[in-house]
Chain A
Amino acid sequence: MEFFVCKFNYWVYITLMMIGLYAMMGKRNLVKKLVGMNIFQTAIILYFISIAAKKDATIPILEHGHEKTVYAIHASQYVNPLPHVLMLTAIVVLVSTFGVALAIVIMIHKRYKTLEEDEILELDR
């Protein structure tokens, strides 16, 4: 039980990731696949953000901290900013992947007038 409760953030991200993976593999509609892809990527972002979370911690700025009496010097006192920064970059990648994928979906729709994979394969034959 403790294994599930104490690490619930990991369980949430794994569940989300599996939902996304299922949608990418199992769904036959191209837009649903893209939604799955987005869930999949967002799950990983959630994972990175959750590993940086810390109770009662402050921002990692030494001088002029948000309460001037508290200076976060020890690692346990401040939130690690690096995962957040990495995820800013990853969000940019996510958005551009989604953009490229949507553009491709528009191309497919222009050509086949449908977004169901079965129908497209039928038309291609």
Chain B
Amino acid sequence: MTTSPLPILIVVVPLMFSFFVPIVGWWRRNLCYPLTIVAIALSALFSIAVLKTVIANGTTHYYLGSWNPPWGIEYVVDHLNAFVVVVMSFIALVVAIYSKRSVEHELPERIVYFYCTFLLLITGLLGIVVTGDMFNLYVFLEVASLSAYALVAIGNNRAPLASFRYVIMGTIGACFYLLGVGYLYIATGSLNMADLSQILPRLYHSKVIIAAFIFFLVGIGLKMAFFPLHAWLPDAYTYAPSTVSAVIAPTMTKIGCYVLIRIMFTVFKPYFSIELIPVTTLLSWIAAVGMIVGSIFAIAQSDFKRMLSYSVVAQIGYIVLGIGLANRAGLTGAVLHILNEAFTKGCLFAVAGAIVYKIGTSNIYQFRNLYKRMPFTMIAFMIGAFSMIGIPPTVGFFSKLYLILGAIDARQWVFVAVVLLSSVLNVVYFYKVIEIAFLEPRTLATESEKKILQVYWPDGGNPTGIRMEEVPLSMLIPLLVMAAGILILGIFSIELISSVIQFAIPAEF
């Protein structure tokens, strides 16, 4: 156990910069973008430093105002959140670099406000990960959520209404979480996670504690769009500006999964969530239904971003299934899938943003011959799609492999079948895009289809005369970095598991 100021620096740097950005923005608008990059890059560097410290010396603590826990707020970084914080800050950095042209294109009037809110969002997300205090987590959850509401609302079309629904659902989620904190507090008199995990085992049979636990589950379930509570997500992610969905989709819901792991296995001991009330079994069944239903909804969509949004709902199911299996392989799969989802959804939503930048729409039926216009973007798309489907050597293959191993370990053959079936459904909806974007348009049978084709592609889909016109490099490089990340992390996933993830799993498993 070591104390170090690194955990607080991860949070404070973007927070401070979010104050500087509007001030500097009044004077020079172009400086907002580099300032944001600097802030998030510093955060990412501190995250990597923290990860190194954790690997070398074990759990790192920071006591705010030098108040010792459980009285003061404590920031605790162990293997699990060191890993998550590095992933999240890296994704945030890559999307921030990507954002420049996309924001200039979609939100030319609101650049200053965008970067200010963007930094607050990152502050909230990273804060949720590093904090070791239940109430502090609530505050950061709301910081992140409020910035997310605002960022979603500046999109065009139906974005304000989608954002309004997100506000309502998100507030209910946050309030349930707060109520759970209150219940824990009246039962134990503590808000510190480590302290709570010491006190709680004596009270496990108390109804107050069980009620608190259920409030946590429902509250976080709402925040992370876990299957029956996902209604707000597709609209919000579809109508948000491209950059915003590229940063929110890989981070927000995955942070919810992290909080779920934290509460189920750190604040409460695994014994409570697995044996005392059989919540893991229940969760994995709901997750299995969510995986299938989410994928089926994704197949039915004709809008690329909407399809990806339903895919997020399905992928949350994978992570929760891994948590619900509650064994070593399953949890390894869940943690690895958080990484996979962060990179893959970041990559795919960034591809969607690039396509919107170039052809002005995300309707799948307008993607004809897109591989000739934007070959590199489409390569990134292919890698992302492969990872989502689970084709080796992408990281998606390994996370699904561990989930299946976990299901076999738990002797739950149904879940093995569900993971495989859901992967097949993934193939179906990604194949739809691949077919339109890569393969020649077929002769169309019906008159109505011809009409549709004429609207979307007046020259009848004739591939000659299509020139290559890629998105600007500032968008393309982050895209390719994420795509390369999917491959590299896949190839080195064994090393990753043996050096970090295996220590991130609670010792009881």
Majority secondary structure, B binding face: helix
A101 x B164 contact (CB < 8 A): yes
In this assembly, does B466 line the interface, its C-beta being within 8 Å of a C-beta of chain A?
Answer: no
Q: Which residues of the other chain, A, contact B146 by a CB distance below 8 angstroms?
A: 93, 96-97, 100
Question: How far is A108 from B154 in the complex, measured between Cα atoms in Å?
Answer: 11
A90 x B164 contact (CB < 8 A): no
Question: How far is A104 from B163 in the complex, measured between Cα atoms in Å?
Answer: 7
B139 x A89 contact (CB < 8 A): yes
Nearest-neighbor residue (CB-CB) of B181 within chain A: A86
B160 x A101 contact (CB < 8 A): no
In this assembly, does A60 line the interface, its C-beta being within 8 Å of a C-beta of chain B?
Answer: no
Apart from the given pairs A44-B178, A104-B163, 18 other A-B contacts in the complex at a CB distance below 8 Å: A41-B171, A41-B175, A51-B185, A82-B185, A83-B185, A89-B135, A93-B139, A93-B142, A93-B174, A96-B142, A96-B146, A97-B146, A97-B171, A100-B149, A101-B167, A103-B150, A104-B164, A105-B164
Question: How far is A72 from B155 in the complex, measured between Cα atoms in Å?
Answer: 55
Contacting residue for B179 out of A33, A44, A101, CB 8 A:
A44
Report how many residues on chain A are interfacial, defined by Cβ distance under 8 Å: 29
Which of A40, A47, A100 is packed against the most chain B CB atoms within 10 Å? A100
Which of B139, B146, B150, B168 is packed against the most chain A CB atoms within 10 Å? B168
In this assembly, does A19 line the interface, its C-beta being within 8 Å of a C-beta of chain B?
Answer: no
A-side residues, CB < 8 A to B, are 21, 24, 30, 33, 37, 40-41, 44, 47-48, 51, 82-83, 86, 89-90, 93, 96-97, 100-101, 103-105, 107-108, 111, 120, 124
Contacting residue for B186 out of A51, A96, A101, CB 8 A:
A51
A108 x B182 contact (CB < 8 A): no
Q: Which residues of the other chain, A, contact B172 by a CB distance below 8 angstroms?
A: 21, 24, 40
Q: Which residues of the other chain, A, contact B139 by a CB distance below 8 angstroms?
A: 89, 93
Contacting residue for A108 out of B138, B164, B171, B179, CB 8 A:
B164
Q: Which residues of the other chain, A, contact B138 by a CB distance below 8 angstroms?
A: 90, 93
A104 x B182 contact (CB < 8 A): no
Q: Which residues of the other chain, B, contact A82 by a CB distance below 8 angstroms?
A: 185
A107 x B135 contact (CB < 8 A): no
Question: How far is A87 from B298 in the complex, measured between Cα atoms in Å?
Answer: 41
B179 x A40 contact (CB < 8 A): no
Q: Which residues of the other chain, A, contact B178 by a CB distance below 8 angstroms?
A: 44, 90
Digitize B145-159: 1 where CB-to-A-CB distance is under 8 Å, 0 elsewhere: 010011001000010
Q: Which residues of the other chain, A, contact B142 by a CB distance below 8 angstroms?
A: 93, 96-97
B182 x A37 contact (CB < 8 A): no
Contacting residue for A24 out of B168, B179, B185, CB 8 A:
B168
In this assembly, does B494 line the interface, its C-beta being within 8 Å of a C-beta of chain A?
Answer: no
B171 x A40 contact (CB < 8 A): yes
Question: How far is A83 from B160 in the complex, measured between Cα atoms in Å?
Answer: 35
Q: Which residues of the other chain, B, contact A108 by a CB distance below 8 angstroms?
A: 160-161, 164
Q: Which residues of the other chain, B, contact A33 by a CB distance below 8 angstroms?
A: 168
Q: Which residues of the other chain, A, contact B186 by a CB distance below 8 angstroms?
A: 51
Q: Which residues of the other chain, A, contact B179 by a CB distance below 8 angstroms?
A: 44, 47
B158 x A104 contact (CB < 8 A): no
15 A-B pairs (CB sep. < 8 Å): A21-B172, A40-B172, A44-B182, A47-B182, A48-B182, A83-B182, A96-B142, A97-B171, A100-B146, A101-B149, A104-B153, A104-B167, A107-B160, A120-B161, A124-B158
Question: How far is A21 from B175 in the complex, measured between Cα atoms in Å?
Answer: 11
Nearest-neighbor residue (CB-CB) of A40 within chain B: B175
How many Å from the CB of B161 to the closest CB on chain A?
6
Question: How far is A47 from B164 in the complex, measured between Cα atoms in Å?
Answer: 26
How many Å from the CB of B460 to the closest CB on chain A?
30
How many Å from the CB of A80 to the closest CB on chain B?
8
A100 x B167 contact (CB < 8 A): yes
B residues 170-226 in Cβ contact with A at 8 Å: 171-172, 174-175, 178-179, 182, 185-186
B160 x A37 contact (CB < 8 A): no
Nearest-neighbor residue (CB-CB) of A24 within chain B: B168
Question: How far is A93 from B175 in the complex, measured between Cα atoms in Å?
Answer: 11
How many Å from the CB of B475 to the closest CB on chain A?
27
How many Å from the CB of B280 to the closest CB on chain A?
28
Question: How far is A105 from B164 in the complex, measured between Cα atoms in Å?
Answer: 7
In the complex where A108-B160, A108-B161, A120-B161 touch, is A100 in contact with B168 (Cβ < 8 A)? no
Q: Which residues of the other chain, A, contact B158 by a CB distance below 8 angstroms?
A: 124
